[in-house]
Structures are given as C-alpha cells and as structure tokens.
Structure 1
C-alpha cells in the first residue's frame, strides 16, 4: 500500500513538472564554434537527460569491462573453494566410514584447494590415525598447537594418541593443558579425573571429580562411589606417611559417604582398633554387616575382637548373625570362629545351614578342615576337598576391565591400572592373581580358565 502511494506521488510530481514546462515555455540559445543553436527549454532539458543517460550507460559498460578479470578470478576462487569444501566433506564421510585411503586422498585434495589449514590439518590427522600412521597424526596435531583456534583440537588429538599408546604421564600433562583452555568440557574432566586417579594423585583427582560431577560428565551416584574410593586411598597414603589421624579421618569420611561399602567399613574398623576404639569399631562392622555381609568384614570383626578369648569371640560373633540371620556369610563367619574355639558341633551346625543356602568351594574346604580337626578323618576331608575342586570359584575382588583377581581390595587394579574397577564376584575367565597391596600389587597372569 505504501509503495503504491509513493509511486502515485512520484507520478504526480512528474505530471506537475510537465504541465509547468508547457505553461512556461522558455528558450535556450547556445553559441559555439560560430554556430548558434536555439531551441525551447523543454527540448534542451530532454537532450540533457538523454545525454546523461548515455553517459551513465557508457560508464557502466567501461566499468564492467575493466572489472571482468577480477570477476573471473573471484568466480574461479569460489569454484575452487566449493570443490575444496566438497573434498573436505567427502574426507569427513570417509573418516566416519573407516575408509582410510579415501580420507587421505580427500585430505590432500582439500589442502590443495582450500587455504584453511585448521580444517585440512584436522582431516589429515584423522586420516593418518585411521591408517595407523601415528607419527604423521602426531605431526599434524602438534602443528595445530601453533594456532589459538586449533590448539584445543590439537591437544585432544595428542591426548588420544598418548592414551592409545599407554603413555599416561604424557596424557596427564596434555589433559591439564587442555583443561587450561577449556576448563568445563565434560569429556575432558572425566578423562583428566581418570588419569589423575590412575597416577595416584588422589587430592587432585578428588577436585577434578567434583568438577566432572557438576559438569554432568559423571553421574552423581557413580561420583559418590568414586569419591569414597579416593578417600580410602588417601587414608592408605596418610598411613604410609605416618599420619594416623588423617588416615582415620579419611576412612571415616569414606564410610560416612557410603555406609554399605565393605572396604570402607573394614578399613575404618581396623584403624579404630589401632586407635583403641574397639567398641566403635565393632559397631561399624555390625551396622555394615546388616547391609552387606562379607568375608572382609568378618576378618575385620575378628581383629576387633582379638583381645577376647575364643569362647567370648563366638558369643560376640552371634551379633553378626542377628544382623543378617538368613545370609550364608553369617553362618560361615560363625562356623569359622567356632572352629577356632574348637566348638565342633556349633561349627558343623552353621556349616550345614550355610550349605543349605548356597554351596561353595570355600564351604567345602571348611567342612574338610572340620573333619580333620574334630575327627582326624582324612578320607572324609579328601571327599570334601574333591567337591571343592569341582565347585565354581568363590567370589573375589575381580577387575571388570581385565578380569584380574586380587586377594585384597584396592582402588587401583594391580594388573591393568584401572581405577575403582574391583567388584566382588566369581571370576569366570582367565585371570591374573595379585598379591595384596591396596591395588598397587604386582600381578602374574594365569594361563588357564578358573575352574
């Protein structure tokens, strides 16, 4: 509507000007080179307008001719750029498809067509990785560190390479440099936390873990479990340095954070015993037994009650049975302490109850021990040991990634170095048997499957 009004307004102005010229005819006289040219003002005006139009067209024509070479060059560059981006796209698709030769070819083509090193270097590095050319990939990623806009991508590539080759020291340094550039990147925080934990830098790992949880890189419940393990490792470290108060404090924090976590309760109970707090230690074991009956807790309870005579220990162990009366571990714990007190009948009763709940290799061995101790019956003991040999393996602290088995719980797997990877379960594959040492033990790989 406004455009129409504007058109009619301009038309009215033109008509008004034409009427004014008709009503006020004038004349124009030009003397030039001995000639006199005389005409009406209207005709002179029209001639002037036509001359201006011809001049404008001539100027545009000349300008167009002069600009033709630059337009041709721009068009050529645009086509070259388009071909370069097409090659870059095809290279990325080839990387995603795992087609290393095509990815490398497209990377070279894109590099020749595009003047954009960040993009082409990234594609070239990924193509080199795909072909297994780690040296070339490292060169490309290192070159990317020289540009601020690609430094983070270069660090990520080098970090991936370092983790792939198992160079954890280099990986940790690269991860910390990357965090300085992008401090809130979720995947980086999770990676840095894992590297710090594997390196035994417990205090730094605890701080990074908190950041990773806040960034959503690690679920809250998983983070709680990881922090519990970190606190336990800090407790072990403090004890090695002679700081018993700190060792007890960290163990207490770990137990408060995860009351049902067996290693935390067992660790706290033992440190309390060392500090002369036997009653508090006993309560820690008893409360945790209600949630998670476990052989490690039974061993810790035996240490708590170490100052009592054998018969008193049996009576006190009955508190564990009241906490979990229908659990096999309660009856096995009572049977073991009764064997130590030479209460053969009570030991046999609890072993039979445990056998009715869940037969196991460990249980058969206790029956064999009972036959030897009470009746000196080697034949019966051998029968029980034969059953033990044929029974499935007992649960043990087993590493989830590498299936190594440790005799004692630790925050780090002594075989593969994974952090917080030990679960209490029966091993089912070929395993590594490790000496106790809180996850820092040396391992010897077993060559045959566990029976």
Structure 2
C-alpha cells in the first residue's frame, strides 16, 4: 500500500512539473561560432537532462573498464577461497567420518588454496592423527603454538596426545598452560583436576575442583565426594609431615562433608583416638554405622575400645547392633567381640544370624575359628573351610576402572592410578590383590597411613 502511494506521489510530481512548463512557454537561443540555435525551453531542458545521463553512463563505463583487471583478480581470488573452504569442509567431514585418506588429501588441497594456516594446520593435524602419524600431528600442533589465535588449539592437541600415551607429567604441564589461556573452559578444568589428583597435588587439585564445579564440568554432588577424598589425602599427607592437628582438621572436614563416607569416618575416629579423645571417636563410628555398617568402622571401633576389657567391649559393640540390627556387619562385629571374650554361645548365635542374611568367605572362616577355639573340633572347622571355598566372595576395596583389589582404601588406585575409583564391593573378575608395597610411592604411603 505504501509503495503504491509513493508511486502515485512521484507521478503527480512529474505531471505537475510538466503542466508548470507547458503553462510557462519560452525560447532558448544559443549563439556559438556564427551559428544560432533556437528551441523551446522544454526541449532544451530535455536535451540537458539527456546529456547529463549520457555523461554519467560514460563515466561509469570508463570506470568499469579501468577497474576490470582488479575485479577479475578479486573474482579469481574469491573462487580460489571458495574452493579452499569447500576442501576444508570436506576434510572436516572426512575427519568426523574417520576417513583418514580423504582428510589428508583435503588438508593438502585446502593448504594450497587458502592462506589461513590456523584452519589448515588443525585439519592437517587431525588427518595425521587419523592415519596414526602422531609425529606429524605433534609437529602441526607445536607449530600452532606460535600463533596467539591457535595456541589454545595446539595445546589441546598436545594435551590429548600426552594423555593418550600416558605421559601425565607432560599432560599436567600442558593443561596448566592451556588454563592460563582459557581459564574457564569446563572440559579443561575437569581434565586438569583429574591430572592434579593423579599426581598427588592435593591442594592444587582442591582449588581446581572448586573451579570445575563452578564451571559446570563436575556435578555438585560428585564434587562434594571428590573434595572429601582430597581432604582425606591431605590428612594423610599432613600426618606424614608430623602435623597431627592439620591431619585431624582435614579428616574432620571430610567427615562433615560426607557423614556416611566410611573412609572419612574411620580415619577421623583413629585420629581422635590418637589425640586421646575416645568419646568423640566412639560417637563418630556409632553415627556412621547407622548409615553404612562396614568392617573398617568395626576395626576403628575396636581401637576406640582398646583400653576396655573383653566383656565390656562386647557390651559396647551391642551399640552398633542397635544402630543397624538387620545388617550382616553388625552381627559379624558383635560375633568378633564375643569370640575375643570367649563368649562362644553368643558368638555362634550372631554368626548364624549373619549367615542367614548373607553367606561369605569371612563368615565361614569365623565359624571354623569358633569350632577350633570352643570345641577344638578340627573336623568341623575343615567342613566350614570347605564351604568357604564355594561361598560368595567377600567385598573388598575394588577399583571401578581396572577391577584391581586393594587391602585398604586410598584416594588413588595403586594399579591404574585412577583417582577416587575404589568401591566396597565383591570383585567381578579374578584379579590379584595389590600388596602394600606394589602401589606407587604416594599410594603406598596412603595405604600405610590408613592401616596405622
């Protein structure tokens, strides 16, 4: 509608101008070189307008002729860039499809057509990785470090390669350099946290963990558990350095974060015992037992009650049974205390109850021990041990990554080095138990501290 109105207005203006000229006739006379040219004003005006239009057309034509070489060059360059970007796109698609040959071919073509090393180097590096040419890929990624706009991509490629070949020292250094360039990148913070934790740099890992949680790289609940594990490791480290107060403070913080986390509760109870605070230590075990009965807690409770006589210990272990009356660990813990006190009947009663809840190797061995100590019956003891051979496996601290079994909990798996991977469960594969001397130095010290 608006366009129609605008057209009508322009047409009205033209008609008005024509009428105005018709109503005001006149003559134009030109004297030049002895010639006299006479015409009406309207014709002269039209000729002037035509001359101006012809001059404008001539100017544009001449300008186009003069600019033709440059326009041709720009056109050819645009065609070349278009072909280069097409090759780059096809190369990226080939990388995504795992077609190493096509990816390498398109990388070379794009490199020849485009004068943009940041894009072509990345494609060339990815193509080399697909073909298994790690040396060439590293060269491309290293070359990318020289350009500010590609330095982060180069570091990421080198970091990925270092992790792939298991060079964690180099990977940690590269991850820290990458964080200096892009400090809030979620995947990088998660990777850096894992590398720092595996390296045993607990304080740095704790700071990076907080950043990773804020960036959304690690869920809040997972982050809470990871922080509790880091605090426990810092507790072990402080104890090795003779800083008992710091060791106790870190263990207390870990327990406060996760009250039902068995390693934290057991660790805190033992440190409280070492500090002579037996009553708080007992409370820690009793409260945690209600949430997660566990053999490590029972061992810690025995340390708490070490100064009591055997009969008193039995009475106190009954507190654990009241916290979780239907759990197998409650009956085993009380049966163990009864065996120490030579209360054979009570021990047998709780072992039988535990057997009805969940048979295991440990239960049958305790029943064999009961037969030897109470009745000196080797035949009955051997019968129980024979049943133990076919019983379900006892739960143990088992790595969720490699399925290796550890004799004691630790933040690092002594077999594969995974952080926070130990779970209390029955192993699903036949693997060798990791002896305390086999893990790396850090993990060994942690195991010894836990067992102390």
Cα distance between partner residues in 1 of 2:239 and 2:162: 33
Q: Residues 206 and 26 of structure 1: is their aligned pair in 2 closer, same or farther, counting only changes over 3 Å?
A: same
Whether 2:246 is the aligned partner of 1:279: answer no
Cα distance between partner residues in 2 of 1:102 and 1:110: 12
Cα distance between partner residues in 2 of 1:16 and 1:214: 73
Counterpart position of 1:421: 421
Cα distance between partner residues in 1 of 2:231 and 2:362: 31
Cα distance between partner residues in 2 of 1:372 and 1:164: 54
Whether 2:223 is the aligned partner of 1:243: answer no
Counterpart position of 1:352: 352
Counterpart position of 2:325: 325
Counterpart position of 1:117: 117
Give yes or no for contact 1:435–1:441 (8 Å, CA) kept in 2. Answer: no
Counterpart position of 1:25: 26
| SS of the residue 1:416 aligns to | coil
Q: RMSD between aligned alpha carbons? A: 2.0
Whether 2:370 is the aligned partner of 1:370: answer yes
Counterpart position of 1:449: none
| SS of the residue 2:369 aligns to | helix
Cα distance between partner residues in 2 of 1:342 and 1:409: 31
Counterpart position of 1:128: 128
Give yes or no for contact 1:85–1:110 (8 Å, CA) kept in 2. Answer: yes
Counterpart position of 2:448: none
Q: Residues 61 and 359 of structure 1: is their aligned pair in 2 closer, same or farther, counting only changes over 3 Å?
A: same
Give yes or no for contact 1:434–1:441 (8 Å, CA) kept in 2. Answer: no
Structure 2 residue runs without a partner (length 5+): 445-452
| SS of the residue 1:423 aligns to | strand
Give runs of aligned pairs for residues 265-276 of structure 1, distance below 5 A: 265-276=265-276
Deviation at 1:359, TM superposition (A): 0.7
Q: Deviations over 1:42-67 (max 9, x none)?
A: 44443333333333222222222333
Counterpart position of 2:175: 175
Give yes or no for contact 2:410–2:443 (8 Å, CA) kept in 1. Answer: no
Counterpart position of 2:449: none
Give yes or no for contact 2:29–2:36 (8 Å, CA) kept in 1. Answer: no
Instruction: Provide TM-score, normalisation by structure 2.
Output: 0.92
Cα distance between partner residues in 2 of 1:95 and 1:373: 70
Q: Residues 329 and 235 of structure 1: is their aligned pair in 2 closer, same or farther, counting only changes over 3 Å?
A: same
Deviates more, 1:432-441 or 1:81-90: 432-441
Deviation at 1:133, TM superposition (A): 1.4
Give yes or no for contact 2:90–2:103 (8 Å, CA) kept in 1. Answer: yes
Give runs of aligned pairs for residues 34-433 of structure 1, distance below 5 A: 35-433=35-433
Q: Residues 12 and 329 of structure 1: is their aligned pair in 2 closer, same or farther, counting only changes over 3 Å?
A: closer
Deviation at 1:302, TM superposition (A): 0.7
| SS of the residue 2:398 aligns to | strand
Deviation at 1:389, TM superposition (A): 1.7
Cα distance between partner residues in 2 of 1:251 and 1:13: 91
Deviates more, 1:363-372 or 1:39-48: 39-48
Give yes or no for contact 2:412–2:443 (8 Å, CA) kept in 1. Answer: no
| SS of the residue 1:424 aligns to | strand
Deviates more, 1:138-147 or 1:240-249: 138-147
Paired positions, count: 441
Instruction: Provide TM-score, normalisation by structure 1.
Output: 0.92
Deviation at 1:174, TM superposition (A): 1.4
Structure 1 ranges of 4+ moved more than 6 A: none
Structure 1 residue runs without a partner (length 5+): 443-451
